[in-house]
Structure 1
Amino acid sequence: MATPIVRVDVMNSSCISIAGRRIGMCELPYIIAELSANHNGRLETALRIIEEAKNAGADAIKLQTYTADTITLNSNAEEFQIRGGLWDGKTLYQLYKEAHMPWEWHKPLFEHARRIGITIFSSPFDNTAVDLLENLNAPAYKIASFEAVDLPLIKYVASTGKPMIISTGMADSEEIAEAIEAAREGGCKELAILHCVSGYPAPAEDYNLRTIPDMIARHGLVTGLSDHTLDNTTAITSVALGASIIEKHFTLDRSGGGPDDSFSLEPHELVALCRDTKTAWQALGQVDYGRKSSEQGNVKFRRSLYFVKDLKAGDVVTPGSIRSVRPGFGVAPKFMSDVIGRRLSFDVAAGSAVMWSVLSDKA
């Protein structure tokens, strides 16, 4: 039975915590650099990617934990063939054999990430991958979009008691609700979901980012974006719509030739993503009609009323004797009709501010 829709206050949606970092709409966006297959078969490359993610300001580096045998079958049958797209002509087994992260690399990668101070976790694709990651004390788990329909896997991950993030690419509203229900039934207490389009790359117009606040309102969960577009515009925009997590594929060199390189960010682009999502979040702020600190020094340049003629005490202020001009040291322009027709208590010179103290009652 699908989880019923529960509408919640968007601005008071929940928070989760991964390795001590709070994640939610009231916190800076949580940036995940997805290493995926961008190691291109070299442990040294994977280690460097972790270092560059840390240097760029990412909060976490994420791996993918599978083997070709745990994710598919070694078959040349038509349904196992990839037709079109980045991986045209390969079988699923060939692709995952090339792309997988060797399991013996996981321990040195986890150790390296912890040594340099960046959170590391992974997407497991079967129960044995979860067991491996538990032995490494992974602080959280990510369910990939293609596995969002694998409810037994979600329940097994949930049984670890660790925070879980579920990507929702290709999932309809009912399937998203089922994945959430499976996570809750399995015991997951800290759950987040990511809006995602499982195209590689995905065009920005497919993202329909207005789905994000609807997801937050429906489910009351920390919600983010798994972004497969080729630049940062979509990710930055998502922050304004409530995204608390941003996940992007990350590589050292987009022309590296690996399975995922071509739609991944390079180091300078990840730096920009970390910087610009932070700026976008800070710019959101809160509802505030008050004068801001950066405006204080410019208040004097607002308009106010000034005399444009020399006048004597007892003269009547006429429309032609005052004007609304900058700066703002005189009576506010909204009082012009109240000022016109009053007599002067003192002599005034052209170019002086209109002050209530020089005005008497109306003539």
Structure 2
Amino acid sequence: MPQLGLEIAGRQIGPGNPPYVIAEIGINHGGSADVAREMISVAAATGVDAVKLQTFKTGCFLSRKSAYFDVLAAAELSPKDLKALSEHAATLGVTLFSAVFDEPSADVWNDLNAAAFKIASGDITHLPLLRHVAALDRPVILSSGGATMIEIARGLGEMRAVSPALPVAVLHCVSHYPTQPKEANLACMAAIRAAFDCPVGFSDHTLGTATAVAAVALGADIIEKHFTLDRAAEGPDHALSADPDDMKRLVADVMVAWESIGKNKKAPVESADHVMQIRRSLVAERLIKKGEVVTRTMLGVKRPGTGVQSADIANVIGKRAAADIDADDVITWDLLEE
């Protein structure tokens, strides 16, 4: 049975919890473990919850005739590199995990006691990989760029056939880069949550932070954003990625968005004294002498709201003043005869 929430490295993710922000390094390290180490350090300092890599054996998922083969092959990190990077992230208090593109890569991360696995959008229909990852019985974040609801259902079904209680979150995603905000279709997250009763999120390929903020306002439990040290660096993902300043701003902005959502209940947060100052009371439009019968023309409606409310005006008209009431004085019940 699908679970409403999930936990990654002790962090609860789902309704009622702050958005889980992932800095997606991907292949922006270019195959250098030293660069990846620096990126993890800098990303951790921005306040993200997790940093994510992409782990693959290029020959296992990409044709050698692909224009990207050499780029991706050069960006592979060894199991030894991944172990050292995981240990480094642990010292910084940030969670490091990876998208895995083939079974051997998933096994490497399983041996590293991965906190979670990510399945990239393009692999939502790679059912053998989904089943293999599900069998490792760790939390899974499933990205759905280019997918239909039927394809999401099939992918989840395949994983849960292997591990019925597998904790899974589904990320809405538009997989071409950069995504235009008008293409984001954030409203579909509600449909995903309703259909699959799981945490939802947004893998953000837009520029800036506005779309991520909107996603959180619409209920995203997870925000994932590509991360780079330099947006001008060479490589396919740097230009669309958030640099350190961008990522720090994103973390701050989505937290403000989450904090401002509140609860599905209308109740005043202002103090009662403040509310009374912005509301109105009945006031005397002129001097009303003691014993005089109050008429409608004697009454105005002005701030503050510390006296008789205007809704009670019919109960005031016709009463006698119990004392002199000066012009612009707020009328209180003790100034009127019973």
TM-score normalised by structure 2 residue count? 0.94
Within 2, Cα distance between the matches of 1:47 and 1:214?
Answer: 38
Within 1, Cα distance between the matches of 2:304 and 2:229?
Answer: 54
Equivalent AA in structure 1 for residue 312 of structure 2: F
* Residue 295 of structure 1: how far off its partner (Å): 6.7
TM-score normalised by structure 1 residue count? 0.88
Within 2, Cα distance between the matches of 1:117 and 1:293?
Answer: 38
2:11 pairs with 5, 11, 21, which one?
21
Match of 1:340 in 2: 317
Secondary structure (helix, strand or coil) at the match of 1:35 reads strand
2:26 pairs with 36, 47, 59, which one?
36
Residue 171 in structure 1 maps to residue 147 in structure 2: yes
Match of 2:69 in 1: 93
Say if 2:61 and 2:101, in contact at 8 Å, map to a contact too: yes
Residue 243 in structure 1 maps to residue 240 in structure 2: no
* Residue 142 of structure 1: how far off its partner (Å): 0.4
Within 1, Cα distance between the matches of 2:264 and 2:8?
Answer: 29
Say if 1:67 and 1:101, in contact at 8 Å, map to a contact too: no
2:193 pairs with 197, 216, 231, which one?
216
Say if 2:296 and 2:317, in contact at 8 Å, map to a contact too: yes
Match of 2:35 in 1: 45
Equivalent AA in structure 2 for residue 302 of structure 1: R
CA shift in 2, pair 1:18/1:296, >3 Å? farther
Say if 2:284 and 2:299, in contact at 8 Å, map to a contact too: yes
Runs of 4+ that moved beyond 6 A: none
* Residue 64 of structure 1: how far off its partner (Å): 0.5
Q: Equivalent residues in 2 for 1:177-216 (5 A)?
A: 177-187=153-163, 189-216=166-193
Within 2, Cα distance between the matches of 1:348 and 1:299?
Answer: 21
Secondary structure (helix, strand or coil) at the match of 2:320 reads strand
Instruction: Deviation per CA, 1:245-277: give whole Å up to 9, x if none.
Output: 111101111111222101100111111111111
Residue 145 in structure 1 maps to residue 121 in structure 2: yes
Q: Equivalent residues in 2 for 1:292-307 (5 A)?
A: 292-293=269-270, 296-307=273-284
* Residue 296 of structure 1: how far off its partner (Å): 4.7
Match of 1:63 in 2: 53
Gaps of 5+ in 1: 1-5, 81-90
Match of 2:134 in 1: 158
Say if 2:58 and 2:72, in contact at 8 Å, map to a contact too: yes
Within 1, Cα distance between the matches of 2:271 and 2:334?
Answer: 31
Match of 1:86 in 2: none
* Residue 226 of structure 1: how far off its partner (Å): 0.7
Instruction: Deviation per CA, 1:262-308: give whole Å up to 9, x if none.
Output: 11001111111111111111111113332214675353232111113
Within 2, Cα distance between the matches of 1:113 and 1:283?
Answer: 31
Equivalent AA in structure 2 for residue 26 of structure 1: G
Within 2, Cα distance between the matches of 1:298 and 1:21?
Answer: 38
Within 1, Cα distance between the matches of 2:283 and 2:316?
Answer: 11
Superposed CA RMSD:
1.8
1:72 pairs with 41, 62, 87, which one?
62
Secondary structure (helix, strand or coil) at the match of 2:26 reads coil
Within 2, Cα distance between the matches of 1:338 and 1:213?
Answer: 49
Residue 230 in structure 1 maps to residue 207 in structure 2: yes
Match of 1:280 in 2: 257
Within 1, Cα distance between the matches of 2:183 and 2:251?
Answer: 23
Gaps of 5+ in 2: none
Say if 1:64 and 1:101, in contact at 8 Å, map to a contact too: no
Match of 1:111 in 2: 87
Instruction: Deviation per CA, 1:30-77: give whole Å up to 9, x if none.
Output: 0011011111343222112111221111000001101322221323xx
Aligned residues: 337
Within 1, Cα distance between the matches of 2:180 and 2:54?
Answer: 24
1:320 pairs with 279, 290, 297, which one?
297
* Residue 229 of structure 1: how far off its partner (Å): 0.6
Say if 1:330 and 1:355, in contact at 8 Å, map to a contact too: yes
